[in-house]
Structure 1
Amino acid sequence: MNRRTFALSGLGLLAATALPARAAGTGGALDAKGFHASRRFLPTPFGDIAYVERGKGPAALFLHGFPLNGFQWRGQLERLSPYRRCLAPDFMGLGYTRPRAGQSLAPAAQADMLATFLDGLGERYVDLVANDSGTGVAQLFLLKYPDRVRSLLLTNGDTEIDCPPPALLPVIDLGKKGAFARQWLAPWLADHDLARSKDGLGGLTFTYPDKLSNAAIDMYLGPLVANQTLTNGYAVALEANALAGTAAALREKGQPVRIVWGMADPTFSPKGPGYLDALFPNSGGVREVPGAMLFFPEEFPDLIAEEAKKLWGVNA
């Protein structure tokens, strides 16, 4: 048994990519049908922002990865809604959000959109939970709106030393040619088994690609293939290092931070968690997740919920 196989055997007890397909109500798990039914749109100057929310109380904002959308956090919305008003918006250019014509899709613009989004929902303060490109946006939000952030739970994603990661450069190049959505995403949407293969969305980013459901593939890729100009634009907007020169300012931020990192992720550097831990003065350290891939937060909602409750000081 190799090291990754051993690590995965330990994670098997936590794996929950195939979340229970119960109908969405005030408490149960959100399947694809329930998530669609729960989706709302908030009109803003940036466009109509798609989001799903669960729970009441202080707000927690969940920032998804690329090419996913807020559906990535359905397991956390179920588990953490007793303690927070859990908000899972779709970034501009991804998912079901409808950005206005000509709207910038760059990470800094996404951070500004989130501030306006929170204003529209009457929320001043927020706990941030982020993955992938959302991790970069979370850092930018902290820089631009530090008085609005209570805490940050950061998982595999952009850091100043890895933004964009080398693995993303072919995606950006295809985006510039207007071909990323057509050449990568459309074939995966048309062939779910291909999407779960070693060269597909599942094999490249999920710990257990065989558990990536047809419904999840459709939820993620359907709107991106239908709106290819926006999808390609999102990719191109990631070309510049949005975090360049931010280290000094981030070192001054005293909010509690917890880093949880999947250590089998081929996209982001394994130096990322150590960098973030050293960067933030009030870091609570790193929890390494051996064998876990980029989008492990979706697969292990209990793990993320456990870490979030500790960070938030919730006794449950």
Structure 2
Amino acid sequence: MQRRAFLQLTAGLVVSSVLIGRAPGLLAKGHAKEVLDEKRFHASRRFVQTSFGRIAYVERGSGEAALFLHGFPLNGFQWRGALDRLSPYRRCIAPDFMGLGYTEVAQGQSVAPDAQVTMLIALLDALGIASVDLVGNDSGGAVAQLFVTRHPERVRTLLLTNCDTEHESPPAAMQPVIALSHKGKFVDQWLAPWLADKTLARSPQGIGGMCFANPADPTDEAIDCYFRPLLSSPRRKALVHAYAIALEHNPLQDIGPALRQCKVPTRIVWGVDDTIFSLAGAEYLDKTLGHSLGVRRLANAKLFYPEERPEVIAEEARKLWGIAA
């Protein structure tokens, strides 16, 4: 799909996407359904046994698959709103990366981005999925870039939101996280206080002020869902630290030539108020990717806007997938 054809789809989808965004309890065809809140998300969680461990994921919908890759230190719950809106069109799968969420990592297993890509291939193979529409945010966007350049035959389309790029991986904001992780202190000094005091978590000094535009976010249930498993044992804390440390040496180094050769149709949707990743990252991806369909600059949106504004993800995904209203 070329840019002109892509843009022509926009007008016909805007009204319907707004309606869907404002009525998350309805399917596109108007059928009532249950919203995927924390209780239902936990109840929906499944596990696949692999050599990497027991990989946790939530699945919704049927048909061709879409794979949603979350950010750090979140898990698949980040995508609940997108899954609600897109499950009428795709078999939506939101896994938890190794080291985060509810995935149970095998002893001695690396949780670096390279290993995450290989784990995702194993997960898809176990689920009998040949190819996916890939959606990524934050460090999940870095994994998505590695995935699409190493396994292009398994990706139909790519939707990237604010994330690492070759020249901003890791971002400067990750340096204190990495430094504390080397000391084994990040989880106890940052995540534990946020879990104990959710107002602090939503403050300018917390993950809310850093990564969310709405001062009411993240919700209490989201904070519990994200951080409680990471504090559940010394080993879980160590895995979180290993995940952060693995980002220290740029996992996207020299990926540029492979991105230029990539023929997968890609759309970039970037929150312009992000203080973690600069807008230059979106412009780099647009200029570098071999089949970019352009950048949408999203006002009043920070790093984790896909959680706050899932209607935008749904709108852009449907256009990218060629699904008319």
How far did 1:155 drift? 0.3
Distance in 2 (alpha carbons) for counterparts of 1:29 and 1:169: 37
| Cα displacement (A) at 1:240 | 1.0
Displacement of 1:63 in angstroms is 0.2
Residue 242 of structure 1: CA displacement?
0.4
1:234 paired to 2:215: no
Q: Aligned to 1:42, what secondary structure does the other structure show?
A: strand
TM-score by length of 2: 0.89
Please show how residues 81-96 of structure 1 align to structure 2 within 5 Å: 81-96=87-102
> Residue 8 of structure 2 corresponds to which residue in structure 1?
none
Give the structure-1-normalised TM-score. 0.92
Matches of 2:80 and 2:154, distance apart in 1: 24
Contact in 1 for aligned 2:20/2:85 (Cα 8 Å): no
Which residue is 1:253 aligned to? 262
Q: Does 2:51 align with 1:45?
A: yes
> 2:68 matched to which residue of 1?
62
Equivalent residue for 1:179, pick from 185, 189, 206:
185
2:272 to 263, 266, 270: 263
Stretches of structure 1 lacking an aligned partner (at least 5 in a row):
1-12, 21-25
Alignment of 1:180-199 (within 5 A): 180-199=186-205
Which residue identity lines up with residue 141 of structure 1 in the other structure? F
| Cα displacement string for residues 245-267 of structure 1 (whole angstroms, at most 9, x for unaligned residues) | 11111111111000000000000
Please give the secondary structure, in 2, of the residue aligned with 1:251.
Answer: helix
8 Å CA contact 2:164–2:171 kept in 1: the answer is: yes
Tell me the secondary structure at the aligned position of residue 268 of structure 1: coil
Maintained 8 Å contact 1:15/1:299: no
Letter in 2 for 1:161: H
Q: Which residue of 2 aligns with 1:145?
A: 151
Match for residue 6 of structure 2? Answer: none
Select 1:290's aligned residue among 269, 279, 299: 299
- For 2:132 and 2:34, locate their aligned partners in 1 and report how far apart those are by CA, in whole Å: 24
Partners of 2:34 and 2:25 in 1: how far apart? 11
Q: How do residues 195-234 of structure 1 correspond to structure 2 at under 5 angstroms?
A: 195-226=201-232, 227-234=236-243
2-structure distance, mates of 1:166, 1:15: 33
Alpha-carbon distance in 1 for matches of 2:86, 2:244: 31
Quote the sequence identity (%): 59
Alignment length (residue pairs): 299
Deviates more, 1:305-314 or 1:245-254: 245-254
**Alpha-carbon offset, residue 27 of structure 1:** 3.4
Equivalent AA in structure 2 for residue 198 of structure 1: P
The code of the aligned residue for 2:200 comes to L
After superposition, the C-alpha distances for 1:120-159 in whole angstroms (9 at most, x for unaligned) are 0000100101100000000000121111010100000010
2:244 partner letter: A
Larger mean Cα displacement after TM superposition, 88-97 or 200-209: 200-209
**How far does residue 28 in structure 1 lie from its aligned partner after superposition?**
2.2
Does residue 129 of the first structure (1) align with residue 151 of the second (2)?
A: no
Cα–Cα, structure 1 residues 211 and 172, in superposed 2: closer, same or farther, change >3 Å?
A: closer
Contact in 2 for aligned 1:69/1:91 (Cα 8 Å): yes
Q: Residues of 1 paired with 2:196 and 2:230: CA distance?
A: 13
Aligned letter for 1:74? R
Q: Does 1:166 align with 2:172?
A: yes
Given candidates 277, 281, 284, the residue that maps to 2:290 is 281
Pair 201,266 (structure 1): closer, same or farther in 2 beyond 3 Å: same
Q: Decide whether the 8 Å contact of 1:90 with 1:97 is kept in 2.
A: yes
1:209 shift after superposition: 2.9
Whole-angstrom distance in 2 between the partners of 1:106 and 1:38: 27
Kindly report the root-mean-square deviation, in angstroms, between the aligned alpha carbons of the 2 structures: 1.9
Instruction: Map Cα deviations across residues 248-289 of structure 1 (whole Å, 9 max, x no partner).
Output: 111111110000000000001220100000011211100001
Contact 2:25 2:33 in 1 (8 A): no
Asked whether the equivalents of residues 14 and 300 of structure 1 are also in contact (C-alpha less than 8 Å), the reply is no
Aligned amino acid, residue 212 of structure 2: F
Q: Runs of at least 4 residues of structure 1 off by over 2 A?
A: 13-16
Amino acid at match of 2:48: L
Instruction: State the shift of 1:237 in Å.
Output: 1.0
Classify the secondary structure of the residue corresponding to 1:111.
Answer: helix
Distance 2:231 2:21 in 1: 28
* Partner secondary structure for residue 41 of structure 1: strand
Deviation at 1:14?
A: 10
Q: Does 1:307 align with 2:323?
A: no
**Which of 108, 112, 116 is the equivalent residue of 1:110?**
116
